[in-house]
Amino acid sequence: MIVSAALVATVAVVGFCGPALLRRALRARMPGPLRFGAWILLLGSMIAAGAGAVATAFGPGHEAARHLVARLRIDALRHQEVLHLDEVLGVSGALFVAGAAGAFAVASVRLYRHQLRLRDRHFAELSIVCQASRAGVWWLPLEEKLAYSIAGKPDLVVLSEGLAKDLSAPELAAVVDHERSHLRGRHHRLVGFAHAVSAALPFVPLARQSPEFVAAAVELSADAAAGRRHGPATVGAALDRMHPVRSKAVALRLGHLASSGRRHKSALRVRDSVLVLLASAVLPLGTAAALVVAGAWTATPALLHA
């Protein structure tokens, strides 16, 4: 019972405190894979703790708990059978886990089908509007500054003619490489996975805010990949021209690009990466261990005098 309660509390702590660590991960100067690793570590530990809590509720060793809660019987109809607290919680938890898994599966299928329909519709429309794909890039005859990519077979990288007129050749090449890095890194799948998790657990802050985090993280990762090839200043100049009105997301990206050329960047990246990953691991493990120790310490006198 102590372990189950500690795992349930761990789910709550990680689910509600995890977003603060994710915001720290976005601000930290760390490689993209480690940023995604912190997110997966928090999300995975929360799911594992929830599944573990349900598993322990049905496991052996609950005789003492049943004895302690035997007086808390749901017997309003004066039936002979007694529902124990741990049994009720175990069944409720199992139903909750099954419902969340079903919602995740349904959301994943819907998002996958939507992605296929989106790619097919764009490919059909681009084949009509655009004259041809040049160097793997489709050019829209529009004056607006547009640049996006769609995963599929084949992958699509779409830019507008207006963007080509406003950017220099190096800046335009950096934008193209930014979009291709999204495709190489399978960023569209990460975004889809985050939306499916949010649909399965919309009331958990960590899951609900995952799409926003992943959307920002994939942009930072693509910026870094383009910056390694074309230079952070070139990527930053292109981003600044494309978004004259800076949102918080654009300001975050420009800040990361500007800091890429500063001194001691390697030391800062290592320090920030270690701190974020360490906090992501310590939060679930430390919470569970502390609650188990506290529960055992509290229950030991009662067990010794039983």
pLDDT in tens, 203-233: 999 999 999 999 999 999 999 999 999 999 9
Residue 196 structure tokens: 């499916």
| Stretch 68-88: mean pLDDT | 49
Q: Which of 67-71, 126-130, 175-179, 204-208 has the lowest mean pLDDT?
A: 67-71
Angstrom distance (rounded) from CA 127 to CA 129 = 6
Note the Cα 165 to chain centre separation in Å. Answer: 36
Is the pLDDT at 266 greater than 70? The verdict is no
Most confident of 39-53, 87-101, 163-177: 163-177
pTM listed for this prediction:
0.81
Angstrom distance (rounded) from CA 93 to CA 162 = 54
Residues 139/141/143/145 CA torsion (nearest 10 deg): -20
Is the pLDDT at 74 greater than 60? The verdict is no
What is residue 281's three-state secondary structure?
A: helix
pLDDT in tens, 133-160: 666 788 888 888 889 998 878 788 889 8
What pLDDT band is residue 39 in, cutting at 50, 70 and 90?
very high
Pairing state of beta strands 137-140 and 156-160? parallel
Q: Give the torsion sign (CA, 9, 286, 205, 110).
A: negative
Angle at 100 between CA 63 and CA 24, to 5 degrees: 100
Is the pLDDT at 65 greater than 80? The verdict is no
- How high is the pLDDT of residue 68? 45
